[in-house]
Structure 1
């Protein structure tokens, strides 16, 4: 499905089809559907939306109606929408001859489960799957309806999905948005996704292509397995003789973030429907304490599960990491009612900030990281 102007209506094989635009291309009618650029009811007006699967054009009101119905269905299934970029997010590909391998060579290759040769009449390519991508898709698929949005061609995207999704579970063809569907080759849009934007997340390594939807975007580190033909200053993973870790790579990390966002989106405190939830608000909150690692001391009883506490949930909603071990994750803040002399000395040595729980509540209320100065724990005289 793509948004398209009347002047951009694709050429047809039918000789009797007249694609000459109407004089007033902004004029609309109230009928919901058009076929081959003309309203099926009044046969006069070309509308501006096309559903790719049936070459059926829909007016904005009908698109909004479908978007609302489909979104409510997903909400009932406790699912959101995830729009995934392809190149350098899920895979990396190259045309460089030095990387080309024959099928026989690939059978013996140590990366034979993630390295593939793509043969097309006009080119030969090697395609490398990002580590843990299959696990990522499997787990994300339980929480999200998955779309692909790529500036690559449709034929290339479909070929890549044969390796990414051989069982055709996640990337059904009607949810693949490719270069042919985009009005601008360097501009992606959620107008092409028939779901409410408040429930849509985007994962992409390129922020600039989502200029109208940055509030829905989670930037992902570029996956550069092969040497680049353009950016010679970047050392590829293959040149270093390494790859991202299965348990520590970008997709594994972002999957944990997606699980948190999904849990927050379907938080029981939101008793209403979709109008009471917005993933953009969740992403905005997650940026407040990004980069902070918190630990809690002298807060919870020994027999209490701290992850169920309001303070813990606040910290998660604000994007803070929570750690009880300074060696594994260096702690930036200790949230506590008080501190012993020994704890003050340790905090000073480790450059850890001791703060009262009111600081966390203040950050949550202000939707920004407020100064710790007024909330510092002070040593007793």
Structure 2
């Protein structure tokens, strides 16, 4: 069979001729978006591959990429632009490119191609039979605001800088603070308290995956902080590069994942539109001020207050206790001869939270709305409470935004609990009935 090498060379020559023809027509500064990033220019054989300006016309702040010095020492070639290596200038035809494993290091103009779920390198989830024999379920873990919180150095608030968080801040493993300096990451990452103990104990009950809408580099760098030896996740890391939907998450990206045996831990419920019944919603970890701003909160960050969650009763300790109950409930049903569905177990555990409470709402649900459709009514019912429209002797709690309403007055006169809506929200995150005295109703609530 004739060799395909001459044909490949001819194709490369034709491609370079087309590229050089395009190069000769480029007008300095003609690419507005790229030109805005120059100077400094990035030259390959006398032509800036960002804005198209020629070397002889460029300002002195640009720097030539040649085969000399440190740039050449960093090759073989991470990518080619206009037929030449963007670091050392070697021609693509002469370069010794390492084959398919180098392909994802190439430079792409525009969004990075997203692989189809069937072609990802994400390890296949263990089948249900294997999981049952090992007494394990599958656990999908979000990263940001669930297990950790990251911020760019340029996003630090003045108060945080005053508290010692700067570009010169060093990693402090003892407090869970780390620098991520590998290009293109330049940020501080704070691990959520108890995260290592959480992962160690959860790994005995679950086959764990990380699933984040952050990009590939960030996902792996952050997972490395959580699991330096790969004992918990291995290669089971899903980023936006592997996800099949923009700004949404789905189990279809994890080959073999069976929803009947999958538990999801995430701080954002809306990103899982098809798997709400698998979801255990986490209280967001907002350590840095940038996270508060991004979610529209006016609260002061933990870093600004020089405070943090506690290991013993923080959100991850609460989540671990819930996971233990779900795991136990699932396998108890298996021992009874049923092939359980973890979604039913999660619902049952959730219904225990406010079981025995009868709730009436005051100034919470707009009069024009159907009360049963309001999210607070639905949430209270999901937590096991009975919701009623009017107060009577069976009511145990009045949830109100105004202490001056008739129902609020009735609660005080009849020795019933009068609480704010935060009482229900806290119950949903803490998975237990909160102390009512900590949620008083005040004017302007």
So what's the TM-score if we normalise by structure 2?
0.49
Structure 1 position 246 matched with structure 2 position 311: yes
Contact 2:117 2:252 in 1 (8 A): no
Contact 1:270 1:277 in 2 (8 A): no
Residue 285 of structure 1 corresponds to which residue in structure 2? 348
Structure 1 position 235 matched with structure 2 position 297: no
CA–CA distance in structure 1, aligned partners of residues 315 and 122 of structure 2: 37
Structure 1 position 53 matched with structure 2 position 121: yes
Residue 93 of structure 1 corresponds to which residue in structure 2? 150
Which deviations, in whole Å up to 9, do the C-alpha atoms of 1:332-381 show, x marking residues without a partner?
A: 89xxxxxxxxxxxxxx99869xxxxxxxxxxxxxxxxxxxxxxxxxxxxx
CA–CA distance in structure 1, aligned partners of residues 171 and 241 of structure 2: 32
Contact 1:83 1:148 in 2 (8 A): yes
Give the C-alpha shift of residue 113 in structure 1. 3.8
CA–CA distance in structure 2, aligned partners of residues 284 and 136 of structure 1: 22
Q: Classify 1:239/1:258 alpha carbon distance in 2 versus 1 (closer, same or farther; 3 Å).
A: same
Give the C-alpha shift of residue 143 in structure 1. 0.2
- Compute the RMSD of aligned alpha carbons: 3.2
Residue 178 of structure 1 corresponds to which residue in structure 2? 239
Contact 2:212 2:238 in 1 (8 A): yes
Which deviations, in whole Å up to 9, do the C-alpha atoms of 1:124-165 show, x marking residues without a partner?
A: 100000000000000000000000110011111111122111
SS state of the match for residue 255, structure 1? helix
Q: How does 1:19-34 map to 2 (within 5 A)?
A: none
Give the C-alpha shift of residue 270 in structure 1. 4.2
After TM superposition, where is structure 1 displaced by more than 6 Å over at least 4 residues in a row? none
CA–CA distance in structure 1, aligned partners of residues 177 and 138 of structure 2: 28
Q: Classify 1:291/1:100 alpha carbon distance in 2 versus 1 (closer, same or farther; 3 Å).
A: farther
CA–CA distance in structure 1, aligned partners of residues 416 and 297 of structure 2: 39
Structure 1 position 135 matched with structure 2 position 207: no
SS state of the match for residue 121, structure 2? helix
Residue 285 of structure 2 corresponds to which residue in structure 1? 223
Residue 257 of structure 1 corresponds to which residue in structure 2? 322
So what's the TM-score if we normalise by structure 1?
0.57
CA–CA distance in structure 2, aligned partners of residues 54 and 244 of structure 1: 32
Q: What number of residue pairs does the alignment pair up?
A: 243
Q: 2:250 aligns with which of 186, 189, 193?
A: 189
Residue 375 of structure 1 corresponds to which residue in structure 2? none
Larger Rg: 2
Structure 1 spans left out of the alignment, 5+ residues: 1-14, 17-47, 56-65, 295-317, 321-331, 334-347, 353-381
Contact 1:95 1:126 in 2 (8 A): yes
SS state of the match for residue 254, structure 1? helix
Contact 2:153 2:167 in 1 (8 A): no
Residue 372 of structure 1 corresponds to which residue in structure 2? none
Residue 124 of structure 1 corresponds to which residue in structure 2? 186
Contact 1:100 1:117 in 2 (8 A): no
